[in-house]
Amino acid sequence: MKVFCFYILMLCVQIAFAQKTFIFPKIKTQGTSVEQFTPANWMIIDQVSGDLNNDGSADLAVVFEYNKPVDETRVYGDNSSAIIKETQKPRILAIFFKNKSTGVLSLSTQNNDFILRSEEGGKLGDPLQQIAIKDQQLYLRFQGGSEWRWELGYTFKFENKDWFLTSVINLYFNQNSGDMTERVYDFKTRELFTTVGNLHRRDIANRRTSEVLYFSELRTFRTFKKPWAWEIMPNVYL
Give the DSSP letter string of 152-167: EEEEEEEETTEEEEEE
User: Does 3 map to a domain?
Assistant: no
Given pLDDT bands bounded at 50, 70 and 90, which one contains residue 75?
A: confident
Given pLDDT bands bounded at 50, 70 and 90, which one contains residue 78?
A: low
Given pLDDT bands bounded at 50, 70 and 90, which one contains residue 18?
A: very low
Given pLDDT bands bounded at 50, 70 and 90, which one contains residue 82?
A: low
Each residue's pLDDT tens digit, 106-120: 999 999 999 999 989
Count of the separate structural domains present in the chain: 1
User: Does 23 map to a domain?
Assistant: no
User: Does 22 map to a domain?
Assistant: no
User: Does 24 map to a domain?
Assistant: no
User: Does 12 map to a domain?
Assistant: no
User: Does 6 map to a domain?
Assistant: no
SS3 45: strand
User: Does 11 map to a domain?
Assistant: no
Q: Does pTM surpass 0.85?
A: yes
* Residue 200 in this model has a pLDDT that exceeds 50: yes
* Residue 192 in this model has a pLDDT that exceeds 80: yes
Confidence at residue 20, expressed as pLDDT on a 0 to 100 scale: 62
Alpha carbons 108 and 52: distance in angstroms, whole number:
10
Helices (H) and strands (E) in the chain, counts: 3, 16
Per-position b or e across 144-168, b if 16+ CB within 10 A of its CB:
bbeeebbbbbbbbbbeeeebbbbbb
For residue 209, what are the domain limits?
Answer: 30-237
User: Does 16 map to a domain?
Assistant: no
Given pLDDT bands bounded at 50, 70 and 90, which one contains residue 235?
A: confident
